[in-house]
Amino acid sequence: MSRAFWFRKDLRLQDNQALTHAAALAHSDLDNSLFPLFFLPNDYHDLSPLRQHSVFASVSSLRLDLQDLVSVFDKDPLESMASIAKTLGVTSVVATESFNKKGIAEQVSVSKELAKIGIELELVGSNYAVVPGSVRKDDGTNVRVYSPFYKRWLLELDFRPFALDVQSVNWAKVPESFDFSLPISQSPFEVKAGEEFAKRTFARFQKRALADYSQARNRMDLAGTSQLSHALAHGEIHPRTLLAQLGNSEGEEVFRKEIAWREFYADVLFHNPETESEYYEPRFAKMRYSDPIKDAALLEAWQQGRTGFPAVDAAMRQLVTTGWMHNRARMMVASFLVKDLHFEWQVGADWFEKHLTDFDPASNAHGWQWTAGSGTDASPYYRVFNPILQGKKFDPNGDYVRRFVHELEHISGGQVHEPWLLIDGLAQGYPAPILDHATERNESLARLEEIKVRN
């Protein structure tokens, strides 16, 4: 008799409720064995090299922590979990419960296949401090606005960690399992990952930037963010672990609210699973939008960081070369795509999903919808980010731009945000702006008026 643990988006050993539960079950069995399993995402081979490498780095770190005992499969768990579990002779498979549309469908299907051969899939815990769906109004309905959600979310928090004595577990290796390899990434950027790296990253953040987080987190040119989004997305650290170490200073309170935003979006997606790809506010589906095929040149300029707006281009180049983008920059480039170029938010969300190593379905979809004006915010469509002013405000000396837009390295200071005003500003091959922001802002608002009239 033995058990299996299915690692999903929880690639860590400590403060892992499901893994701790699986280890306790294994202790109660005669042979005390636990098989740790991991399945590559079904779309793994369609991901960008950097996203592939981010998965590889996380799983490799986990395997190192368990002396190479985590068995990795390049197979669909729906098609192979039952046969693997049967071969191993396990009585149950334990996993962390997922709350997004894809994850729910996967665990339901795997559970049914396992049940056919008399094996139970036990779903325990979540990758959130508060389980999506738990925060409710007094009448039992879900909370649709962030501020009241945050207040009620705080009341649901439980900081007690789940500790695992790793050495006491009889970890078992699947016979003849095969490892996976990755195509060599053409990017010079190396993704650092793993549970211990996440803990060190948080410790550095506490010393380096937490005190000034309320202000510095918006500066694209500064290291003012936590750099923990990858770790949270892959489950290398649990948000409960972070929250338990926060006090009540201004910086700590703002950081706590940022974690709550992640959980709010997970809650919204749980209650509205269709909004991962559809409009939260359906009326925005009726708006006139650019066509990704007919207007492919404009879309490609945005994707490749060749719009002629330095802050936008720096952010887009940061994405494709590092697999990450500053949160302020994410809002700016999203606004530019939806309200300057007039593409639907899903076009940008798909591009982010392809490249972001910290991709999270709820945060991605509803972060985009927040900026696009179709999300949970009360009246947001009139919020149109000016890409020039955003650059000047949040990269005042131009260091962020010069770091990623090498054609502008010859321009010093904040002048880099308007290189077309300089005699030699475009001399190194940087393009002129592909549009006039003021004109496109007015066009975007005119399109909003059209659907308001039709409604």
Q: Which of 271, 298, 328 is the last residue of a domain?
A: 271
Tally the domains of the chain: 3
Mean pLDDT across 237-259: 97
16/85 same-domain check: yes
CB 157 within 8 A of CB 243: yes
pLDDT at 146: 95
Is residue 61 in some structural domain?
yes
- The answer to whether residue 375 is domain-embedded is yes
Looking at the predicted structure, is the pLDDT value of residue 181 above 60?
no
Residue 49, domain extent = 2-127
What pLDDT does 45 receive? 85
- Amino acid at site 192: K
Q: What is the pLDDT of residues 397-443, one digit of tens each?
A: 999 999 999 999 999 999 999 999 999 999 999 999 999 999 999 99
CA distance linking residue 110 with residue 37, whole number of Å: 14
Helix (H) or strand (E) holding 296: helix 296-304
Residues 230 and 295 in one domain: no
Closest C-alpha to 263, from 377, 161, 146? 146
User: Residues 377, 313: one domain?
Assistant: yes
We report the CATH number of the domain holding residue 147 as 1.25.40.80
CATH number for the domain spanning 88: value is 3.40.50.620
Q: Has residue 171 been placed in a domain?
A: no
Q: What is the mean pLDDT of residues 94-107?
A: 96
Say yes or no: 117 and 146 in one domain.
Answer: no
Residue 262 lies in a domain: yes
**Boundary-marking domain end, from 228, 243, 271:** 271
- The angle formed by the CA atoms of residues 379, 384 and 389, to the nearest 5 degrees, is 140
Q: Is 277 part of any domain? A: no
| Pair 317, 412 in one domain | yes
Same domain membership, residue 407 and residue 344: yes
CA-CA distance, 21 to 23, in Å (whole number)?
5
Q: How many angstroms separate the CA atoms of 391 and 341, rounded?
A: 18
What is the rounded average pLDDT for all residues in the chain? 94
Please name the amino acid found at residue 351.
W
**Rounded CA gap, 388 and 384, in Å?**
12
* Lookup result for tokens 């090299």: 49
**Strand (E) positions, 119-220?**
120-124, 170-171
Helix axes 310-322, 327-335, angle to 10 degrees: 120
431 lies in the same domain as 298: yes
**Alpha carbon separation from 139 to 33, 266, 420 (Å, rounded):** 46, 21, 57
- Please report which helix (H) or strand (E) contains residue 434, including its range: none
| Residue 188 vs residue 354, higher pLDDT | 354
Interacting residues of 115 by C-beta distance below 8 A, sequence separation 6+: 121
pLDDT value of residue 452: 81
Q: Which tokens belong to 89? A: 């002779």
Helix spans in 135-249 (H) = 146-156, 195-208, 213-216, 229-234, 239-243
Examine the pLDDT at 253 and tell me if it is beyond 60: yes
Q: Which residues contact 269 (CB under 8 A, 6 or more apart)?
A: 99, 100, 101, 132, 275, 276, 361, 362, 365, 366
For position 82, what pLDDT does the model report?
95
Q: What is the CATH number of the domain that holds 409?
A: 1.10.579.10
Q: Based on the domain organization, do 132 and 239 belong to the same domain?
A: yes
Looking at the fold, whether 111 and 151 belong to one and the same domain comes out as: no
**What mean pLDDT do residues 44-61 have?**
89
User: Closest by alpha carbon to 367, among 325, 404, 395?
Assistant: 325
- Give residue 397's identity as a one-letter amino acid code: N
Phi and psi torsions of 225, nearest 5° = -100, 170
Q: Which of 9-13, 178-182, 261-265, 405-409 has the lowest mean pLDDT?
A: 178-182
**372 and 231 in one domain?**
no
Out of 82, 110, 127, a domain closes at 127
pLDDT at 443 (0 to 100): 96
Q: How far apart are CA 289 and CA 269, in angstroms?
A: 24
Are both 101 and 45 inside the same structural domain?
A: yes
Asked, for residue 300, whether it belongs to a domain, the answer is: yes
* 70 and 133 co-located in one domain: no
Alpha carbon distance 156, 4 (integer Å): 30
Within a domain: 148: yes
In a domain, 11, yes or no: yes
